Amino acid sequence: MQALRDKVAFVTGGSRGIGAAIVKQLVEDGAAIAFTYRENSESAQALVDEVKRNGGRAIAIQSDSADPNALISAINETANTFGRLDIVVNNAGVFPYGKPESFTIEDIDRTLAVHTRAAFVSAQAAIPHMGAGGRIISIGSCFVERVPVPGISLYAMSKSALTGLTKGLARDLGPLGITVNIVHPGPTDTDMNPANAPGAEEEKAWTALGQYGRGEDIAAAVAYLAGESGNNTTGTAICVDGGYAA
């Protein structure tokens, strides 16, 4: 039985990496999917085609999560296309790295816009379309719990803000029957951070298991929270980090 049959999900940054794994998992569980991408239309269309070949429903929407109007438009398009909206996954991200003094105000603003403001705006836009059983899930980071090396302060700050947002929205939306949670990945094997990249061995050593995770591991946690299994879970974090924060 497909746990998300007749549900509609919206995933930001869904054309590759962890986002694409989430899209595939939610489709496998029966949901219709809309996902955003910023630039790579070929990857986005390839994922839509794969979903359709496997009997699923999906659309790709070009939208930059740093643009609140584009994000709102994408959520409204999703609800209008599929007739409802049940699940929102805030996944789109950037990875600023460097000394604090190296970042411009524009770098700071974009990071906060993509990670923090976008999650708030997407909730604002989704709430009118959601009923009881709605799900809002953000993808955080293991750096919220532990920052073992320099150069990650801006990224860690922006992801840490999602914890407060998750807890606050859980209180705001609980009376409506909408749950709000966050999933914290650890080092994860993607095209942006491959498990065979320079420095990968150091990242593995930060975890208790000594290994990279897979996008599918994160997607499984998202699917758990998105389905009936997540009915009594809200305002909390699930760490899928190989014991990074242990």
Catalytic residue numbers read 155
For the chain, strand residue ranges (E) read 8-11, 32-37, 58-62, 87-90, 135-139, 179-185, 188-189, 213-214, 237-240
Q: What is the DSSP letter of 174?
A: G
Which residues fall within 8 angstroms of residue 1, CB to CB, at 6 or more apart? Answer: none
Q: Which residues of 209-232 are buried (b: 16+ CB within 10 A; e: fewer)?
A: eeebbbbebbbebbbbbbbeebee
- How many Å apart are CA 219 and CA 211, to the nearest integer? 17
